[in-house]
């Protein structure tokens, strides 16, 4: 009996369940990636490229905004260096995603390179917020989520490129599903963690970048700015903590007052040195 859970994991039955649970998690991304991928496909088709290129780009590049940028650069006849630099700058934000996944991705085994490759904004958001179903393998669950999202993106872009302007579906506003997904996942993060400062940092850094940076650069700018704010806050907390502790002790514990009083000047001296 006790081994049942483990057995289930090995069999196709448990795998199917895990797949379904990953599928449920990714439904909002499905509904977001299809119209967004189609928009990319339309654009590339409109620029005069065969649909196979939409397929290849979505398969091997797999970066929403990066692929839109590529269409613009293709139209402008950019050189390879420009493609490389523009793509690096635009996607540099993904480096910050990896920073917070170092631990989560350790021990996922041979799917790790693929998980790193497939780390889009949306997949990052899902992986950092969704819990692995009880008794299931982390690597399997993460892999299904990443691969499903990837599959939606490829399907959308090929669909858009093949159908071109044939289809007259009014999908205006459907891309909002991704905004709504981010809102929901932000609130889940709020429930999952006691830290409140990251939200304050985000509002500050985000508003600032929205005003002072152009739309193409604002996400990277805001992530760098926000990270600096988090680091600065951590630094200042570490500095003030010893004196705060002494102050609290001074207020609550009359017996330790004498000790603290003698300790405090010494601490002040070290602080002044900083």
Partner 1 sequence: MLDSLHMLITIAVIALATFATRALPFLFFGSREPPAMLSIIEKNLPPMILLLLVIYCLKDVQWFSAPYGIPELFTISVVAGLHFWKRNAMLSIFTGTGLYMLLVQLNVLSFL
By CB under 8 A, the residues from 125 to 144 that bind partner 1 are 125, 128-129
| Least distance CB 62 / partner 1 (angstroms) | 7
Residue count at the site for partner 1 (CB under 8 A)?
A: 85
Q: How many CA atoms lie within 13 A of 32 on its CB side?
A: 21
CA distance 141 to 23: 10
H or E element, residue 39: helix 12-46
**Ranges within 208-267 binding partner 1 (CB under 8 A):** 209-210, 215, 218-219, 222-223, 226-227, 230-231, 234
Distances (CA, A) of 147 to 4, 23, 29, 119: 28, 10, 12, 10
Q: Which is nearer to partner 1, 14 or 122 (CB)?
A: 122
Alpha-carbon distance of 73 to 44, in angstroms, equals 11
When binding is defined by CB under 8 A, the residue of 38, 43, 108, 119 that contacts partner 1 is 119
Residue 86: phi and psi, rounded to 5, are -60, -40
- Between residue 96 and residue 115, which ones bind partner 1 under the rule CB under 8 A? 96-100, 102-103, 105, 112
Stretch that binds partner 1, among 8-16, 160-168, 197-205, 248-256 (CB under 8 A): 197-205
Binding flag, residue 39, partner 1 (CB under 8 A): no
- In this complex, which beta carbon is closest to partner 1, that of residue 186 or of residue 264? 186
Return the number of other C-beta atoms located less than 10 Å from residue 220's C-beta.
19
Site for partner 1 contains 47 (CB under 8 A):
no
């Amino acid at each position: 009996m006790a081994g049942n859970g483990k057995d289930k994991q090995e069999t196709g039955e448990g795998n199917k369940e895990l797949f379904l649970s990953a599928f449920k998690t990714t439904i909002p991304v499905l509904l977001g990636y299809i119209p967004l991928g189609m928009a990319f496909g339309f654009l590339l088709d409109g620029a005069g490229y065969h649909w196979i290129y939409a397929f290849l780009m979505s398969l091997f590049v797999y970066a929403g905004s990066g692929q839109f940028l590529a269409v613009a650069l293709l139209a402008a006849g950019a050189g390879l260096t420009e493609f490389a630099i523009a793509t690096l700058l635009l996607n540099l934000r993904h480096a910050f995603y990896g920073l917070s996944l170092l631990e989560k991705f350790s021990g996922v085994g041979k799917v790790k390179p693929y998980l790193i490759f497939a780390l889009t904004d949306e997949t990052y958001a899902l992986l950092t917020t969704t819990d692995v179903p009880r008794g299931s393998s982390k690597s399997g669950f993460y892999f299904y989520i990443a691969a499903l999202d990837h599959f939606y993106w490829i399907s959308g872009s090929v669909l858009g490129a093949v159908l071109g302007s044939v289809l007259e579906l009014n999908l205006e506003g459907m891309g909002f599903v991704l905004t709504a997904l981010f809102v929901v996942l932000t609130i889940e993060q709020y429930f999952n963690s006691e830290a409140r400062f990251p939200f304050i940092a985000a509002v500050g850094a985000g508003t600032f970048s929205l005003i002072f940076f152009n739309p193409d650069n604002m996400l990277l700018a805001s992530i760098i700015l926000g990270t600096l704010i988090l680091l600065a806050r951590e630094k200042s907390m570490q500095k003030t903590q010893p004196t705060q502790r002494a102050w609290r002790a001074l207020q609550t514990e009359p017996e330790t007052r004498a000790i603290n009083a003698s300790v405090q000047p010494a601490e002040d001296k070290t602080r002044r040195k900083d």
